[in-house]
Amino acid sequence: MFKAFKTKGKRAIYAIAALAAALIISAPMSAYAAANPLGLTVRQSFAGSVTDNTFTYQFKALDAGNPMPAGSTADGGYSFTIAGAGSAEIGPLNFTRPGVCRYQVSQVIGTEKPGYTYDKRVYTVEVYVDAALGVDVVVKNQDGTKAAGISFENGYKAPGGDSVLTADPPVKKTVAGNPSYATRFSFQLTAGDPSYPMPAGSLGGTKTIQIEGSGENEFGTWSYTRAGTYYYTVYEENTGASGYTYDKTVYTITDTVKEDNGRLVLSRVITNSLNKPVTAFTFINQFSDGKDGPITGDNMNTYLYIALFAMAGALAAGAALYLAIGGKRKNRKKAV
CATH value at residue 221:
2.60.40.3050
User: Which pLDDT score is estimated for 31?
Assistant: 35
Cα within 13 Å of Cα(150), Cβ side? 26
Residue ranges making up the domain that contains 21: 1-35
Pairing mode of beta strands 38-47, 150-156: parallel
Residues 41 and 31 in one domain: no
Our count of domains for the chain comes to: 3
Identify whether the C-beta of residue 84 lies closer than 8 Å to the C-beta of residue 53.
yes
Helix and strand numbers, DSSP H then E, in the chain: 2, 20
Q: Is residue 123 part of a domain?
A: yes
**Do 9 and 97 share a structural domain?**
no
Q: Is residue 332 part of a domain?
A: no
**Which of 245, 266, 287 lies at the terminal end of a domain, its last residue?**
287
Is position 224 within any domain? yes
Cis peptide before 92 (omega within 30 of 0): yes
Give this prediction's pTM.
0.45
Q: 196, 296 in Cβ contact below 8 A?
A: no
Q: pLDDT value at position 229?
A: 95
215 belongs to a structural domain: yes
Asked if 197 and 219 touch (Cβ cutoff 8 Å), the reply is no
Mean pLDDT score of the chain, rounded to an integer? Answer: 81
**Residue 114 in domain:** yes
**Domain match, 199 and 238 both:** yes
Question: Does residue 11 have a pLDDT over 80?
Answer: no
Are 193 and 206 within one domain? yes
Instruction: Give the up-direction half-sphere exposure of residue 101: CA atoms within 13 A in the CB hemisphere.
Output: 23
State the DSSP H helix or E strand holding residue 210, giving kind and residue range, or none if neither.
strand 206-212
Strands 228-236, 184-191: pairing kind: antiparallel
Q: Do 28 and 51 reside in the same domain of the chain?
A: no
| Same domain (yes/no): 20, 50 | no
Write the pLDDT tens digit of every residue in 56-110.
999 999 999 999 999 999 887 999 999 999 999 998 999 999 999 999 999 999 8
- Considering the domain architecture, whether residues 146 and 180 belong to the same structural domain is answered as no
Residue 15: C-alpha distances to residues 12, 21, 155, 234 (Å): 5, 10, 66, 93
- Residue 144 and residue 173 in one domain: no
Query: Looking at the domain assignment, is residue 85 inside a domain?
Result: yes
Please tell me the predicted confidence (pLDDT) of residue 25.
Answer: 40
Per-residue model confidence as pLDDT tens digits over 270-311: 999 999 999 999 999 999 877 654 444 344 444 444 554 556
